[in-house]
Chains A and B, each alone.
Chain A
Amino acid sequence: MAVGVAVVADAVVGAAVTEAARDRVGLGWRPELAATILTHLDRIDVVEVIADDYFDAGRGALRALRTLAVQVPVVLHGVSLGLASTLAVDRARLDAMARVVEWVAPDAWSEHLAFVRAGGREIGHLAAPPRTAATVEGTARNVAWARRVVGAAPLLENVATLIDPPGSDRDEPAWISEVAETAGVDVLLDLHNLYANAVNFGFDAREALARLPVERVSAVHLAGGRWIGRLLDDHLHDVPDAVFSLLTELASIAPRPLTVIIERDGNFPLPARLLAELDRAREALARGRTRQPCESAA
């Protein structure tokens, strides 16, 4: 009997290890982190590059990016398309994204569930759109167009917001689920954004996570923030414990391998501390994977 239990336990752990082996952990490419990244590729599975930095790049710069992709798997991340909108995405920007994707041949590309301009004004960052049927449909139209132009659909990322989006008639998990289903895309789940919104608007992040389409989640962002009267997702601080706990929770229910990126935009820690955060992310993933039932980890 004891042997039987041990065999079952081994099978569970074995499945989790197999799943964990396919999970990847990496960093967002930032110039200040270049030396850390390039000298620790044995501990960095994947690097995420901001695609928009290359929209107007010449062949030399794109060749440089391709050279980076020879060293380490690269995923591309967009910040300025503004796909989550009733307004059509700008064709020139989509063409630029397509060109970068063609040069780099990344594992995947992603964009935010945000609008970034309207009425001739550039907001300058990611604004959460009203969570309505109209923005679900608008996002799906933009994603369909992006898929045609770029050749692959983006993963869509939830955003942090300091303002409860005016005009919304549904909550964030319901809206994200509807967008992902209607657009037929995978989700890049930013766990700090989810956590920050939960703190700022008084909902339970774990309950929200359980209502998200975890079967579509294939990538994760982790970051830190600071309190400014609300929690600001500034990418300038260490990943908080609560976000690592959410990663464990996600890994216990997400059926697919996860590519986890830690985003750090400034106030850069010493390499050892940053690498320790990567290790902590791996541990959080592994803990969650061991909690998965056999059938979903297989």
Chain B
Amino acid sequence: MSSPRFEAFLAALYVDADTRQRFLADPHATARQAGLDASEVDALARIDRVGLELAARSFASKRAARSRPRLGRRLLDAGARLLRPGQVL
């Protein structure tokens, strides 16, 4: 169990709302269409549905946060410019 194809299907479930909706409506058919084997299809049919929705929401929120500028590095750069190399505070 677990293959690149299985991980790709999980990634699609976590990221893509349409795929998730189709899957939840008919897990067996959607997983089979993705080329997964019988044991993988069975595992997905038993998926933790509450967890799937919560995880998908959490991942979406993280993706949105990642798109913001990386303030951390810019502030560190600015602070470091005030110091001479090797200077200890």
> A residues within 8 Å of B by Cβ?
29-31, 34, 38, 41, 50, 53-54, 57, 60-61, 63-65, 67-68, 70-71, 85-87, 115, 117-125, 127, 129-130, 132, 134-135, 138, 161-164, 166-167, 169, 200, 228-230, 232
Contact assessment for B77 and A119 in the assembled complex, using a CB-CB cutoff below 8 Å: no
Min C-beta distance of A134 to chain B, whole Å: 4
Min C-beta distance of B11 to chain A, whole Å: 4
Min C-beta distance of B5 to chain A, whole Å: 8
Q: Report the separation of the CA atoms of residues A63 and B70 in the bound assembly, to the nearest whole angstrom.
A: 17
Closest to A57 in B: B73
Chain B residues touching A, majority SS: helix
Q: Which of A61, A86, A121, A127 contacts B77 (CB 8 A)?
A: A61
Min C-beta distance of B58 to chain A, whole Å: 6
Q: Report the separation of the CA atoms of residues A120 and B1 in the bound assembly, to the nearest whole angstrom.
A: 21
Contact assessment for B55 and A167 in the assembled complex, using a CB-CB cutoff below 8 Å: no
Chain A positions within 8 Å of B52 at CB level: 163
CB under 8 Å from chain A, chain B span 11-30: 11-12, 14-16
Contact assessment for A119 and B11 in the assembled complex, using a CB-CB cutoff below 8 Å: yes
Contact assessment for B80 and A122 in the assembled complex, using a CB-CB cutoff below 8 Å: no
A-B residue pairs in contact (CB < 8 Å), sample of 15: A29-B72, A31-B75, A34-B76, A54-B73, A57-B73, A65-B76, A70-B86, A86-B4, A118-B10, A119-B8, A134-B2, A161-B51, A162-B54, A163-B48, A163-B54
